[in-house]
Amino acid sequence: MKVLIKQEECILCGNCSATCPKVFILVPGESSKITKEYMGKNDSEGEIDESLVDCVQSAIDSCPVEIISLE
Ligand code: SF4
């Protein structure tokens, strides 16, 4: 499954990386990014398997500006 972050709208709150640190990392002054382990073609796009869906869904629910999605 694919995880997408609309990085240009990230307000750097850190909720996603605190909730699901396996998949999200906050880079101060930049944005939230997908960790190297799960990165797709760039750091705004990740590839995860079923075992991480709950983790990513919690991060989605924690994002105050609703810019994380799963497809
Ligand atoms: S929860 Fe949303 S706004 Fe906060 S750091 Fe993550 S992507 Fe950015």
**Ligand 1: centre distance to CA 68 (Å):** 8
The answer for 17, left when phi > 0, alpha when psi is -120 to 50, beta otherwise, is alpha
**Ligand 1: centre distance to CA 30 (Å):** 11
Cβ partners under 8 Å of residue 54, min gap 6: none
Q: Is the pTM of this model over 0.95?
A: yes
Sign of CA dihedral 59, 65, 3, 50: positive
Cα–Cα distance, 28 to 69 (Å, whole number):
21
Instruction: State pLDDT tens for residues 16-69.
Output: 999 999 999 999 999 999 999 999 999 999 999 999 999 999 999 999 999 999
Atom of ligand 1 nearest to the CA of 31: 8
Was domain 2-70 assigned CATH 3.30.70.1250?
no
CA atoms within 13 A on the CB side of 24: 32
Domain ranges of the chain: 2-70
